[in-house]
Structure 1
Amino acid sequence: MPRTGSAGRGAGVDPERLWSQAERPRRGRPPAHSRAAITTAAIALADTEGLAAVTMRAVAARIGAGTMSLYSYVPTKETLLELMIDQVSGEHALPAAPSGNWRADLRQFAQEQRTIMRRHPWLPGALSARQTLGPNALAALEYALAVLAPVGLEAPARLETFSLLTGFVASHVSYELAQERAVEAGGPASGELLDAQDRYLRSVAAEGRYPHLAQALAVPGQDSAPQAVFERLLDRMIDGLTAGV
């Protein structure tokens, strides 16, 4: 059974205890496993089977350990989730310093966020449950705030801008992945349904009751590839976040 009390499930994650205190070496034989190895196994499980599949029992089985022994490395599943999020946050290829072109740097940062979230489909949903920022997440945050420094926003506004940008990327990736899953589940018939939806919208727009929709549909279609859509929306997002400065 998981430990209860201040370290138990639902009690929250103490950031000082998690990030400021190194793993304590245990007396006797060297530990058979490490927190990093456990985190890596949990990430691999989440990548292939989804976050719901990440249980202490399943992770223990992956590394060949007893379930109870995992609690001496990672006291709660909440803690494990924090470790997972921070480890994948370290996949950002952060330059030593911003280039000075803040818009290009911010776009590149958001593109990397999208790549990481698509590589780890569980991440967008997990971010909403994150309780603390580990060293990798802090490094990414510090870089993004440095990128935004020339914009002219006050420091708290830069922090809010970063939060909004990350929220946009997470939300958009969640939508992308959901659409892809729906297409995969629908098989060949899904393409026919998309065509039917397009015909339906154009038919109702032609009736005259939805003039704004008709106007939008009359414009030649833009590139609908996921990457192109993301880039268009990202540019609009950045324009809106930095408007008036």
Structure 2
Amino acid sequence: MAGRAAEPEVIWARPERTGRGPRPAYSRADIVAAAVRVADADGIDAVSMRRVAAEIGCGTMSLYNYVPRKEDLYELMVDAVSAEYDLAAGPSGDWRADMLHLARQARAIMRRHPWVIRLMTTGYAFGPHALRFLEHGLACLDGLDLPGGVKMELLATVNGTVMTIVANDLALAERARGLPWSEEQEQAVRGAYLRGQLAGGGYPRLAAVITESGARPLDPEEVFERTLRRVLDSFAPA
């Protein structure tokens, strides 16, 4: 006879530790903090129940009394770094300024914890700090004449835009670390190649754009701010 099928469970509705015995030696917060330290140091692929258990000094099987699945650990980790948003000031009354402020904070958090980009999904949006963030974000949009669902889309779009920009920056930085020459040498060679390609006349529009910009290196801060402002403009009522 087949056993009973497993049922879905929300980690936040589960007691911090199940089972009988003496008072727990560790808290859920201890375990999550250890997992975040491992991920920050060695990446999300280094996070395993065995590694985290070793980090806090307990047996691997004991860890399952606190966190039943690795997916639950991931959800706890995402919520833990969501606590790093500073929302104490409350909405300013200027929804654009507030969204930019949140976007800047999101970028800083993702830079501190690059692994979080791989884990962020709508499925991990039910933790206490994630809910606090969403409530704050919606409060910042109170003065914006849009349906609630569109406001949620706005928050998701801003977050997704930040994730894309940070992921690209991290990928470029990782690539640069693996080069056997300097970044300046790499860019000089690539720049010479591109100029040669454009000189052939096969890419007139691209050549015109680069000529117009004067081949000035892009300022990442300017690009970030400009991109987010354009995203916000797309949600402003006509």
Q: Do Structure 1 and Structure 2 share a fold, with TM-score over 0.5?
A: yes
Task: Pick closer, same or farther for the CA change 1:99–1:128 going to 2, 3 Å.
Answer: same
Deviation at 1:145, TM superposition (A): 1.4
Residue 82 (structure 1) aligns with:
75
The answer on 1:227 being equivalent to 2:221 is: yes
Number of residue pairs the alignment of both structures matches: 234
Residue 50 (structure 2) aligns with:
57
CA distance in 1: counterparts of 2:125 and 2:151, whole angstroms? 19
**1:37 is matched with which residue: 30, 35, 45?**
30
Q: More displaced, 176-185 or 222-231?
A: 222-231
CA distance in 2: counterparts of 1:132 and 1:79, whole angstroms? 12
Q: What is the letter of the counterpart of residue 46 of structure 1?
A: A
CA distance in 2: counterparts of 1:20 and 1:5, whole angstroms? 20
Post-superposition CA distance 1:90-122 (Å, at most 9, x none)? 000013420011111110100000000000010
Contact 1:202/1:217 (CA < 8 Å) preserved in 2? Answer: no
SS at match of 1:114: helix
Residue 144 (structure 2) aligns with:
151
CA RMSD of aligned residues (A): 2.1
Task: Pick closer, same or farther for the CA change 1:28–1:108 going to 2, 3 Å.
Answer: same
TM-score by length of 2: 0.90
Contact 1:46/1:122 (CA < 8 Å) preserved in 2? Answer: yes
The answer on 1:184 being equivalent to 2:177 is: yes
Residue 6 (structure 1) aligns with:
6
CA distance in 2: counterparts of 1:198 and 1:226, whole angstroms? 18
Post-superposition CA distance 1:23-65 (Å, at most 9, x none)? 2576442111111100000000000000000000000000000
CA distance in 2: counterparts of 1:118 and 1:182, whole angstroms? 16
Q: More displaced, 75-84 or 161-170?
A: 161-170
Task: Pick closer, same or farther for the CA change 1:80–1:181 going to 2, 3 Å.
Answer: same
Contact 1:39/1:83 (CA < 8 Å) preserved in 2? Answer: yes
TM-score by length of 1: 0.87
CA distance in 2: counterparts of 1:223 and 1:133, whole angstroms? 41
Deviation at 1:21, TM superposition (A): 4.3
CA distance in 1: counterparts of 2:183 and 2:113, whole angstroms? 25
Contact 2:78/2:116 (CA < 8 Å) preserved in 1? Answer: yes
Deviation at 1:208, TM superposition (A): 2.3
Q: What is the letter of the counterpart of residue 114 of structure 2?
A: P
Gaps of 5+ in 1: none
CA distance in 1: counterparts of 2:190 and 2:231, whole angstroms? 27
Contact 2:17/2:24 (CA < 8 Å) preserved in 1? Answer: no
CA distance in 2: counterparts of 1:53 and 1:5, whole angstroms? 30
Post-superposition CA distance 1:120-168 (Å, at most 9, x none)? 0101111148444201011111111121222211110000111111111
CA distance in 2: counterparts of 1:159 and 1:55, whole angstroms? 33
SS at match of 2:142: helix
CA distance in 2: counterparts of 1:6 and 1:47, whole angstroms? 32
SS at match of 1:186: coil
**Map of 1:192-207 to 2, 5 A cutoff?**
192-207=185-200
CA distance in 1: counterparts of 2:217 and 2:98, whole angstroms? 24
Q: More displaced, 123-132 or 151-160?
A: 123-132
Deviation at 1:239, TM superposition (A): 1.9
**2:162 is matched with which residue: 164, 169, 174?**
169
Residue identity (%): 41
